Structure 1
Amino acid sequence: MLSIIIPTRERAGTLKYTLASVLDQASQDYEVIISDNVSEDDTARVVSDKNDPRIKYYRTSARLSMCDNYEFALSKARGQYVIIIGDDDAAIPGMLDFLIARLRVLAEPVIHMWPLHIYDWPVGDSNAKATYVAPQIAESILDLKVKACGVVRLGGWKYYELPSPYHAAIPRYILDALCERTGRVFHSTQPDVFTAMAIPAFADQAINIGKTVTLNGRSAKSNGLGFVKRGALPNIERFISEYGNYAFHQSLYGGTTSMANMIPDAVLKAKDMFPEVYGDVVFNYSAMWAYIARLNFVKHSNIISNLIDIRKTHPFILAEFLGFSFIHETAALRRTILNQLGMSKRGEEYLADDIHGFVKLLSQNSQFRR
């Protein structure tokens, strides 16, 4: 019924706990695909020590880019649905069982998504932290085309509210249709962003089940933590460099960092590929700059000082940029205050030095049980 894909590279220390959480389920109706991107650590031993028939281990013959490793892993998967998680992420005990039971009785396959918790692994002198514990919400339906067009109008902001194979259950036929149309499933340097924007060309709706199945982990080597801890940014630059002479979308400003262009590039390439979804929807470059500034991939002062050159590549309205910057700064401040007042204190109940320990503690709380 389900393929859980875990692309990995030299993160045996976190993979061990990720695997433990994914296998902490009663069902046998799923497989765990490990795509080892030529790791030189104990990855192979960590996998073999689990000795579980649900695990299928594959090792690439050479070092691949992230997208190519995802593509390689997907080629090995046999499930009717696909979920991709990182090698420092996790599944909630018993929740894959819950999901599989739902999927099995559907008359037709449909995308399933869920709220995501965020767990930060211990890094240096910093202890583990439940950065965000998502509340359970009522089940709802997401209109994918409406949402995706909204992302374009916001310059790429809120792409993460769309389902992609990363932390959502995507029917395999959708990914096969995407591959048949474009030659492969994963494009750009951001496989999750691209597929989130591409899937609306093949599906109209997704079900948000309102209960967390898998969750984000952010460790010292992860790109996710790189978004919030500036010391991890070299990891992002390294993986982008592994794409070789990758060409970002022609409308993007080449005088900034590749990190600043990677998310907009994925959105714009999907927009170009699927005109039946995006039609005449205008990508908002002014809003884009405000968003990537919020991510700290570029400074507001650098944007304004390069205004003349930026306008040679795409439209840029200063007043609109400043307005969106205010919105982003307000939203970021609001999130910080909420974390300090509520979420961080609430997360202390589930403090654990590894992500499997975290999800076990979380699953014992009646509020987060099935």
Structure 2
Amino acid sequence: MTLLSVIIPTHNRAQYAVQSISSILELSPDIQVVVCDSSPVDEISGHFVDSYSASRLKLIRSGHGISVVDNFNLGLDSADGEYLVFIGDDDFVGKEIVQVAEWARGKKIDSVKFNFPALYYWDDFKHSTQGDAYSATLHITPFDGSVTPHDLKASMRHALDNFGGGVFDMPRAYAGMISAELARRIKLKYGQVFGGVSPDIYSSFLIANESNACVLVDYPVIIPGASGMSTSGQSSSGEHYGKLRENAHIAPFKNLVWDERIPEFYSVPTVWSYSLLKAVEKVEASDGLNLHPNFGRVLVKCFVYFPRSYKETFSSFRRTAAYYGYAKVIYQVVRSVGAEFVWVLSRISTKLFKSKVSLDSSVLKGLDTTYSASHGLQLFLADYPAKLRLPV
């Protein structure tokens, strides 16, 4: 059986995917790459004709019009590895990922969360304020190589309280690692690993709830990439906000029934909160729990950051108040105003801290693709004093 499957869902981004696939396949024969391509035209397979066996590289034509959630589930069903890692088509992984998978198998660790001390910017990346200053660079901040136990229940509570805020400290399949056995347990219990309209958020909550043992790794094992077509680039240009049903990401979700407690427009907080809510409902129905997502927090986010959609937000406020009672929801909103203010201050503080840390950071330049960035990272790590320290 294959030790590790790296699964890459992709759509109309062959210029990134081909480079990332190539970089990963070179790392180790113990890695299988599964590519689920929903593009209308196949621009990937021609680069790998007869280069690798079908067991090492699976190129799945998932069909145009498939949703991102279905594409993730298809990738999961197509993978053969004992451990599974999902990444974006503009990301890459370090060679130490095989060591982590081998160690996790031996220690029966079923989920691994990673810090991201290394971030890669493609040559076509444009920063919202600094233009192409980040283009073709790999930024590496200090790390210590530690591997420590991770508190799963605390990560779930934090995500529920900061509803609509993201994955936070929950373990992940996307930019994380899970065992195939954990994925099977989740699928058997809940029907599928990925759901909602954001597969990352939905799956993270189920992974955190079902995982028996999780660790946090502080080492550049998975390296997120930012390209001209990535989420960060789209967010800076306003493409991550607009009418829900008109968004290209949402369109493939046929017969989508939106929850009235979440404002119905397309944005990061609304998509994330809806997806987390769908996972919460699965856990509540299966385990007989009442998990209390903080709806006031996502309402505050929508009021503050998306004032043009105040009608949709106010409508959801009324629906939520009718569901839980006005007193409870108003209390959540008031409490969330303060929490969101503190969160913004913490973000500012983090940026200031990072600017100081950046003095100790390393920037590798002239790396046009993830393929060249992968080689650059390996050379850098060979001389870096901190090594990956997997507990005996």
CA contact (8 A) 2:186 2:210 kept: yes
1:119 corresponds to 2:120: yes
Aligned in 2, Cα 1:350/1:343: closer, same or farther, shift over 3 Å?
farther
Aligned in 2, Cα 1:167/1:308: closer, same or farther, shift over 3 Å?
closer
| Corresponding letter in the other structure for 1:189 | V
1:67 corresponds to 2:69: yes
Secondary structure of residue in 1 paired with 2:77: helix
Residue in structure 2 matched with residue 342 of structure 1 by the alignment: 357
Number of equivalences? 361
The runs of 5 or more residues in structure 1 that have no matched partner are none
Q: Distance in 2 between matches of 1:267 and 1:302?
A: 24
Q: Distance in 2 between matches of 1:167 and 1:3?
A: 13
Residue 348 of structure 2, aligned match among 333, 344, 358: 333
CA contact (8 A) 1:138 1:210 kept: yes
Q: Which digits, 9 at most, give the CA deviation of each residue in 1:289-331, with x for residues without a partner?
A: 445678xxx43x4577877534312224453233123123212
CA contact (8 A) 2:261 2:319 kept: yes
CA contact (8 A) 2:4 2:98 kept: no
Residue in structure 1 matched with residue 255 of structure 2 by the alignment: 245
1:262 corresponds to 2:268: no
- Cα distance, 1:149 vs. partner? 2.0
Residue in structure 1 matched with residue 326 of structure 2 by the alignment: none
- Cα distance, 1:211 vs. partner? 1.9
Q: Which digits, 9 at most, give the CA deviation of each residue in 1:35-91, with x for residues without a partner?
A: 111342622223437546621212124431101111111111111111111110001
Secondary structure of residue in 2 paired with 1:192: helix
Give the alignment's Cα RMSD to 1 decimal.
Answer: 3.0
| Corresponding letter in the other structure for 2:18 | K
Percent identity, aligned pairs only, is 17
Secondary structure of residue in 2 paired with 1:21: helix
Residue in structure 1 matched with residue 281 of structure 2 by the alignment: 272
Q: Which digits, 9 at most, give the CA deviation of each residue in 1:143-169, with x for residues without a partner?
A: 212321221022243523211211222
| Corresponding letter in the other structure for 2:296 | S
1:157 corresponds to 2:157: no
Residue in structure 2 matched with residue 309 of structure 1 by the alignment: 315
The runs of 5 or more residues in structure 2 that have no matched partner are 321-328
| Corresponding letter in the other structure for 1:115 | N
Residue in structure 1 matched with residue 372 of structure 2 by the alignment: 357
Residue in structure 2 matched with residue 321 of structure 1 by the alignment: 336
Residue in structure 2 matched with residue 76 of structure 1 by the alignment: 78
Secondary structure of residue in 2 paired with 1:194: helix
Residue in structure 2 matched with residue 90 of structure 1 by the alignment: 92
Summarize the alignment of residues 154-193 of structure 1 with structure 2, pairs less than 5 Å apart.
154-157=162-165, 159-193=167-201
Q: Which digits, 9 at most, give the CA deviation of each residue in 1:316-364, with x for residues without a partner?
A: 4453233123123212322332343433872423552222323332332
Secondary structure of residue in 2 paired with 1:185: coil
Aligned in 2, Cα 1:208/1:321: closer, same or farther, shift over 3 Å?
closer
Q: Distance in 2 between matches of 1:49 and 1:96?
A: 25
Q: Which deviates more from structure 2 when the two are superposed, residues 67-76 or residues 350-359? A: 350-359
CA contact (8 A) 1:129 1:351 kept: yes
Q: Which deviates more from structure 2 when the two are superposed, residues 340-349 or residues 259-268? A: 340-349
1:284 corresponds to 2:294: yes
| Corresponding letter in the other structure for 2:147 | E
Secondary structure of residue in 1 paired with 2:34: strand
Secondary structure of residue in 2 paired with 1:271: helix
